[in-house]
Amino acid sequence: MSNAATPRPVAGILWMLAAGLSFVGMTALVKSMGDDMHPIQAAFLRYVFGLVFLLPAIKPMLQTSLKPRHWQLFALRGVLHAVAVMLWFFAMTQIPLAEVTAMNYLTPVYVTLGAALFLGEKLAARRLTAVVVALVGAIIILRPGIREVSPGHLAMLGMTFLMGGSYLLTKRLVNEISPVVIVAQLSIWVTIILTPLAISVWTPPQPEDLVLLLIVACFATAGHYCMTLALQAAPIAVTQPATFLQLIWATLLGALVFAEPVDIWVVAGGSLILGAVSFITWREARLNRRAVTPANLQTKP
């Protein structure tokens, strides 16, 4: 993602804050649905409604010549992303809002490791240290042996890992295919993959749930749009730290709206993870290289 010719750090931070609010709002709406709808069906409907926002991408898609290798990568990414989204919807019914938000910060760490293992990118000592710090943050959140690691926690670990794989595939595609086409192909493939799974668990949805999922799709689209504007206005090293506020907002929202207790260990662990991700991003900016780790906001379902 290229920055504007003249960096506008204040505008970048404000756009990133708007993106964060959109994503927290999206998460809260999914949380409010509880377990009224099967996670697979909810994930499917979220992407079906999201297809409406792909209409501007139809022309670029038709004009793009794709090779068999591109179709294979699109399909593989669709599978990884579809499973990740289902795990995310399931986790939302199992663990507090703040824990979902904090653990979501792990995805860029997996991307950093995967880029070193599979794409041949250098993993210098400082970045490796930041990865270790992030993993320590995850251990602080989970506290295995001290408290029960629930299925929701395991779902989030799986979700962030699969999202990392999804974005590694994006890195393979982005130098050859337009980002607009990549995003559109992802939405289409995820919808296709989720369709038979959703049919197998389908129950007639309540009208209010349909309205909520439509709003969820709107929030998700608005969040990604604001994030794009943020990264155009200012370097990612400037905007990345602003994502920390998502954890604060999620913690407050969980406590005030969903009566979830404030867990200082979750806040501490999430802060460590985000600090590590911010350091990795800052180092990439200092080295004047394309950021290996995408902003955390890019890992949203």
Q: Domain boundaries in the chain?
A: 9-299
Whole-number Å distance between alpha carbons of 133 and 136: 5
Instruction: Give the model confidence (pLDDT) of 100-147 as tens digits.
Output: 999 988 888 888 888 888 877 777 788 888 889 988 999 999 998 888
How much of the chain, in percent, has pLDDT values that exceed 90?
A: 35
Q: What is the DSSP string of 60-113?
A: HHHH----HHHHHHHHHHHHHHHHHHHHHHHHHTTS-HHHHHHHHTTHHHHHHH
Whole-number Å distance between alpha carbons of 220 and 183: 13
Higher pLDDT, 51 or 301: 51
Residue 121: which region, alpha, beta or left (left: phi > 0; alpha: psi -120 to 50)? beta
Higher pLDDT, 63 or 234: 63
Contact between 194 and 39 (Cβ < 8 Å):
no
The one-letter code for the residue type at 223 is G
Instruction: Give the model confidence (pLDDT) of 219-251 as tens digits.
Output: 988 887 887 788 678 766 677 677 778 888 899
The two structure tokens encoding residue 285: 């900016």
- Tell me, what DSSP letter sits at residue 144? B
Mean pLDDT of 242-271: 89
Q: Which residues contact 184 (CB under 8 A, 6 or more apart)?
A: 54, 57, 58, 60, 61
